[in-house]
Amino acid sequence: MGMNVGSSSGSGEPEVMMDVNTTPLIDVMLVLLVMLIITIPIQLHTVNLDMPPPSTTPPQQDPVVHTVMIDFDGTVYWDEAALPNIDAVNAKMQEIGTMPISDQPEIHIKPNKLVDYGVVAAVMASAQRNSVKKMGMVGNEQYVK
């Protein structure tokens, strides 16, 4: 902190002026800004997706769709039929994963908004492990406030 003693106008005692020296603060801020700019890596705002090539011909038949509903208590339903455990889900996903990609049915995963995410993650991991390629999340509009 610097102190400036100036002359007063007419009184016998000098007037004391105290100002904060902001030059060191500005220097430190500039150094921190330069360090931040240098250390932040260049971020790429791209997402790599395996998209099918465009086709102008419509499909000859509608795809087969299996709906996997996950209830609030973690119960997994495969086309309205309850599955007893995650091994049954793995068996269904393995059956689909062994098919050629063009013949695989679509899997629509529809979780309840109150379900523990671990159950949803286990179903999605099972599909990934068993090479299920046509999978999507359905019913996300229930999360919009």
Residue 145 confidence (pLDDT): 64
Third-level CATH fold of 65-140: Nucleotidyltransferase; domain 5 (3.30.420)
* 14 neighbors 7 (Cβ within 8 angstroms): yes
Task: Look at residues 65, 91, 86 and name the one whose alpha carbon lies nearest to residue 75.
Answer: 86
* 131 neighbors 99 (Cβ within 8 angstroms): no
Which of the residues in the chain have pLDDT under 50? none
- Neighbouring CB atoms inside 10 A of 26's CB total 10
Query: For the chain, what are the domain ranges?
Result: 65-140
Threshold 0.75, pTM exceeds: no
Residue 72 confidence (pLDDT): 92
Residue 5 confidence (pLDDT): 56
Give the phi and the psi of residue 34 in degrees, each rounded to 5: -65, -40
Residue 123 confidence (pLDDT): 92
Could you tell me how many residues make up the chain?
A: 145
